[in-house]
Amino acid sequence: MLIPYSEFLRTTGLGEEQGKRAWKLISSQTYPWEQHVQRASDMEPEQWLTTGDSHIDQLLGGGIRMGSIVEIVGESAAGKTQFCLQLAIAAQLPRSIGGIGGDVVYVSTEGAVPTSRLATMVDPFISRVYNGNISADRIMQHIQVAELEDMESMFHALNYKIPALLATGKVRLVIIDSIAAHLRFDLGGNESLGKSQDFYKERSSLLVQLGAKFKKWADQYHCTFVCVNQVKDVFGQPQKQAHLLQKDAASGSEQSTQTSVMDLENEFTTMVRSNKAPALGAIWANIINVRIMLYQRRGLTQSQIARNPDASEEAMPPEHLLRTRRWIENTFSPWAPQAQCEVMLDNGGFQHISL
């Protein structure tokens, strides 16, 4: 079917009408396109997994969409694992309030799965989002965990164990915490430039293979992959310095102190995002469907406040600059615009803060 139609007629010796019928028949047998399309009226409605907070769901366009590949990225202690545990619990909720009615596979590549933390989150989370009664034991029975300490065991699980679990039809959510742990650095240590380049070429190939598998399984089994990613430092960009509680040397006015407080309040996002970027590069960024970024700004310490011992009580920073603040950002997504909301992290996981 790669030859022109006119050459097909000359080769077969068929007439015009017979050639058309033969061409159409061979084409339909070679690629039965009707088997590869679906009518819009026959499509199932989109299914979303709730995060357990309606404002965070709205930020993400409805929650975590089934059949997608979602990345959770942030610095250490930003709450990435906590957010994943929250999704694992939410998956067990009834479908009517955002659950997905399936099991969860939680893969940890950076140590033991925090099952004790997971167990303590269940009751506060369930009581916040559901009027019914779901025990912690029932939740834990539907979450299967795997601890993979090296790259070989991770790929063995992804090539054999995960497909076998998905084939049962029970698993609807796969969490990998984290995808970057065994792929971020060259495990050979100090290598020559040539060997280092070979490593990154091999890593790029592995990422493409992983992405192809995830997309195939997500579509075939209508499940979702949530992958935790780490961040890396970005050098060569000037940092904005926000100095708090420093008087203007020229005027000594209180207004400069207030301005410096506003600068810290308004510029913290720039300071965080200008010097940090998700690991694994552009290849991985083109594999995922959604990127969710978690970040925090730690509260001012006593040493920072004490930098200006002459500051009056009126010039002291407001309370919200003294406590740690957290944000969730929908960095990119096909079904929601880029946006962020401030959140708090308690015993039941993340929930939004009303401004």
Domain ranges across the chain: 5-36, 50-352
Which stretches in the chain have pLDDT values below 50?
A: 186-194, 238-272
Report the predicted TM-score, pTM, of the whole model to 2 decimal places. 0.76
What is the pLDDT at residue 182? 84
- Residue 245 backbone zone (phi > 0: left; psi -120 to 50: alpha; other: beta): left
Report DSSP state, residue 45.
P
What is the pLDDT at residue 254? 41
Judged on CB neighbours under 10 Å (0-12, 13-18, 19+), 91 is: buried
CA atoms of 196 and 295, how far apart (whole Å)? 31
Neighbours of 223 (CB within 10 A): 24
- Residue 200 backbone zone (phi > 0: left; psi -120 to 50: alpha; other: beta): alpha
What is the pLDDT at residue 195? 53
CATH of 50-352, one of 3.40.50.300, 3.20.20.60, 3.30.1200.10, 3.30.300.10: 3.40.50.300
CB 257 within 8 A of CB 299: no
**CB-based contacts of 140: which residues, under 8 Å, 6+ apart?**
115, 118, 119, 122
CA atoms of 139 and 130, how far apart (whole Å)? 14
CB 222 within 8 A of CB 172: yes
CA 138 from chain center: how many Å?
Answer: 26
